[in-house]
Structure 1
Amino acid sequence: MKDTLKIALLGTRGIPNNHGGFEQFAEYFSVYMADKGHMVYVYNSHDHPYQKKSFNGVNIIHCYDPEYKIGTSGQFIYDLNCILDARKRNFDIILQLGYTSSSIWHWLMPKKSIIVTNMDGLEWKRTKYKPAVRKFLKYAEKLGANYSDYLIADSSGIQEHLLETYDKKSEYIAYGATNHTNPNPDTLVQYNLEQFKYSLVLARLEPENNIETIIEGYVKSKSINPLIIFGGLNEYGLKLKEKYKNDFRIKFVGPNYNQEELNNLRHYSRYYFHGHSVGGTNPSLLEAMASNALIIANNNIFNQSILREEAIYFDSDQQITNIIDEDSYFSLKAKFTEKNIEKIEKEFNWNIINGKYEMFLINVIKNKFQNNS
């Protein structure tokens, strides 16, 4: 067996991260693998802000991405371009992050490369999509599960779904985070906030993230503290902003991509609401845990598998109203956050997560060599 792997990461807009969770993972993991001596390649959109051919030891391959011209459908062409390029390069492993816009091209995947797919969340459950799109996403998930040589699930809930739905085993490897050890209250000044006298939502403004449930529960409460909502104001967000414009406590402040500022805001919040109900290990949840936030989470298997006993759970807006009015859970902040920080250090630390990925991929190659010998 070879000492080093030649591996490609496909399915993101590229590194360094300027978009989202998969891009952040791609950045951390690719640099980690390059530092370990592996030959690592990451596919970037042609118009990614970073235009150099290498990044901290990682090879960057830019491929044409027409999304800027034609919208979401451009992702399918971008993935096709990446796959066609990968056919020329003799990779040992292609680590595919997600399947939505690449699975239809599965028959073009390089035959000699081992295809490992991180199956992402249950995209077809997202209510923001029209029925026809959701039907396609479920079909794409089926393709991804069946054509990949190996599957990775970033939550136990996704792992169970893949086994029950497709009779496919998968390797559970969660997402990662880094503990936020030096909070700085200066960030609060620009939002006119006081320490532990505001609550926080940080999410894409989509129905499946229970944004309206959280707001409605807060509006019915007696709290005088503001609820700060970070997220791009899409059509759904604008409707909510209009609906609740007369409540001075509900503040839509738009997006913020400065992780240091967000960590500080999480740290000093009284309650941090995590309404995500679809998907695997959500990056923003781990980041909230790593920032010492006291978390009120939607009651579902994805959140429970990560937070376990160290959170308060809700199923309805009335439960949120009761939590805010009683305000008794704030006394549990030290106890809950201490254990959540311990989880980050022992289970979800980036070095641990990257190490699990590396070991899994090395074992994949070992299996191939054993089967061929």
Structure 2
Amino acid sequence: MDASKMKKVAVVGTVGVPACYGGFESLVHNLIDYQSNNIQYQIFCSSKKYEKKLSHYKNAELIYLPVNANGVSSIIYDILCLIICLIKKPDITLILGVSGCLFLPVYKLFSKSKIIVNIDGLEWRRNKWRKFAKKFLKKSEQVSVNMADVVISDNRAIANYVENEYKKKSEVIAYGGDHAVNLSAPINESIKEEGYFLGLCRIEPENNIEMILNAFTNTSEVIKFMGNWDNSVYGRKLKAQYSSYSNIILLDPNYNITELYKLRKNCLAYIHGHSAGGTNPSLVEAMHFTIPVFAFDCDFNRYTTNELAHYFGNSEQLRALTEKLSSGDLACRAIDLKRYAEDMYHWEHIAAMYEALY
């Protein structure tokens, strides 16, 4: 296609592609995979995370900055990305997260680019942040919503919050999960491990990990829980507290999609403890596996699962769910959950929704 007719879309706020980190990275990876012929992506990447620095990934241009894209340094990273955008002059600036959005008034003053912001999951509410950080993130969120031409919420509960808090409507676009089951290499599914429950998340307080693990301290039922246990004082504390239980198996992070497929495919049920953050990619992925999902009872999870999961609010309620697993109702709802995921959470559909905003 004639380059003059291409829409240039700069993507700010991720570690980069190929995806090796989290939800936003997987989103960008799939936006590229399903992009239309008239779209040219420019993806900002942290050189701190890539030994091999590709100039392009598929049809996307990669631009590297020598700054970490996560934590406090994400503020500097995102602002530097926006400064480079002033030089690159993209038609659309897609910002994922609000870390650097206090710079948007300056950016908008000097740029004619259409600004689209995915505000993520109300980051300022997370317990890991101290008081000043929470105030900073809340202010960044406010500026991002007010300055954006389009706001994206990844969950209906987030959209309701944006409308109530800022009197502004947002576009609800979640994430795909079909990549978790669409594998290029065949797997011998006849080999089944002994039954176990599965948890998978970043080790943070609002993910209710302690509540989940407590449900398995007085039972022979096995849980495998994967997370970044060694990345924080909180994670190391939980690891020391629960690693002595023979039925509680704490796994280190593994981003190999084939290994994750095996873990999910063979588990009795997936346990999801997130209480913040909108639509969580790991939950959406699990919904594609025809397994029961036990989710912490909050609006985010009920909207994501369309009320088709089973919900718990404490360790006792979760334990009761594990004991009811042999019930036919759980299997039936797992099938309904998969059908809903196939309708709502597939990447080709998600990519088309993003491109409709460009």
Instruction: State the TM-score, normalizing by the size of structure 1.
Output: 0.87
How far residue 151 of structure 1 moved from its aligned partner, in angstroms, is 0.3
- Asked if 1:257 corresponds to 2:258, the answer is no
Per the TM alignment, residue 185 of structure 1 is displaced from its structure 2 partner at its CA by 5.7
CA distance in structure 2 between the aligned counterparts of 1:242 and 1:344, rounded to whole angstroms: 36
1:211 aligns with 2:192: no
Spell out, residue by residue over 1:41-87, the C-alpha distance to the aligned partner (whole angstroms, 9 max, x if none). 1111133424121111111112231x39xx83322222222111100
Q: Secondary structure at the match of 2:144?
A: helix
C-alpha displacement of 1:181: 6.0
Alpha-carbon contact 2:243-2:250 (below 8 Å) kept:
no
Look up the match of 2:332. Answer: 335
Counterpart of 1:295 in structure 2 is: 293
TM-superposition CA deviations, 1:94-114 (whole Å, max 9, x none): 0111112x1122133242111
Question: In structure 1, what is the equivalent of residue 160 of structure 2?
Answer: 160
What fraction of aligned residue pairs are identical, expressed as a percent?
A: 32
Matched letter for residue 41 of structure 2? V
Secondary structure, aligned partner of 1:229? strand
Tell me the distance in 1 between the aligned counterparts of 2:122 and 2:201.
17
- Please tell me whether the aligned partners of residues 84 and 108 of structure 1 are also in contact (alpha carbons under 8 angstroms): no
What residue is the counterpart of 1:140 in the other structure?
140
Residue 368 of structure 1 is matched in structure 2 by none
Partners of 2:182 and 2:338 lie apart in 1 by: 10
Q: How far 1:134 moved relative to its partner?
A: 1.6
Correspondent of 1:351 among 337, 343, 348: 348
**Structure-1 residue corresponding to 2:13:** 11
> 1:8–1:42: 8 Å Cα contact kept in structure 2?
yes
Change (3 A) 1:309 1:104: closer
Q: Quote the offset at 1:186 in angstroms.
A: 7.3
Following superposition, the deviation at residue 207 of structure 1 comes to 1.1
Match of 1:198 in 2: 196
Q: Secondary structure at the match of 1:117?
A: strand
2:58 counterpart residue number: 56
Residue 344 of structure 1: how far off its partner (Å): 2.5
Question: Superposed, which structure 2 residues align to 1:1-373 within 5 Å?
Answer: 4-33=6-35, 35-49=36-50, 50-65=52-67, 67=68, 72-100=71-99, 102-109=100-107, 110-178=110-178, 180=181, 184=187, 194-195=193-194, 197-220=195-218, 222=219, 224-233=220-229, 234-329=232-327, 331-361=328-358
Query: Is the Cα contact below 8 Å between 1:7 and 1:41 reproduced in 2?
Result: yes
- 1:354 corresponds to which letter in structure 2? A
1:371: which partner in 2? Answer: none
Q: In structure 1, what is the Cα distance between the partners aligned to 2:209 and 2:217?
A: 12
3-state SS, counterpart of residue 206 of structure 2: helix
- C-alpha distance in structure 1 between counterparts of 2:49 and 2:277, whole Å: 26
How far the C-alpha of 1:328 sits from its partner, in A, is 3.8
Task: Specify the code of the residue in structure 1 equivalent to 2:338.
Answer: I
Distance in 2 of aligned mates of 1:37 and 1:213 = 48
Question: What RMSD in Å do the two structures reach over aligned CA positions?
Answer: 2.2
Q: 1:200 to 1:258 in 2, by over 3 A?
A: same
> What is the CA–CA distance in structure 2 between the aligned matches of 1:38 and 1:131, rounded to whole Å?
41
CA distance in 2, matches of 1:15, 1:23: 7
Secondary structure of residue in 2 paired with 1:218? coil
The worse-fitting range, judged by mean Cα deviation, of 289-298 and 45-54 is: 45-54
* CA distance in 1 between partners of 2:30 and 2:200 (Å): 22
- Listed as ranges, the gaps of 5+ residues in structure 2 are none
Q: What whole-Å deviation, never above 9, does each CA across 1:7-38 have from its counterpart, x for those lacking one?
A: 111111111111111011111103422x4231
Give me the whole-angstrom Cα distance separating, in 2, the residues matched to 1:48 and 1:230. 21
Aligned pairs, number: 347
Q: CA deviation at 1:93?
A: 0.7
Q: Secondary structure at the match of 2:88?
A: coil
Kept after mapping to 2: 8 A contact 1:241/1:252:
yes
Residue of structure 2 equivalent to 1:364: none
User: Secondary structure of 1:152's match?
Assistant: strand
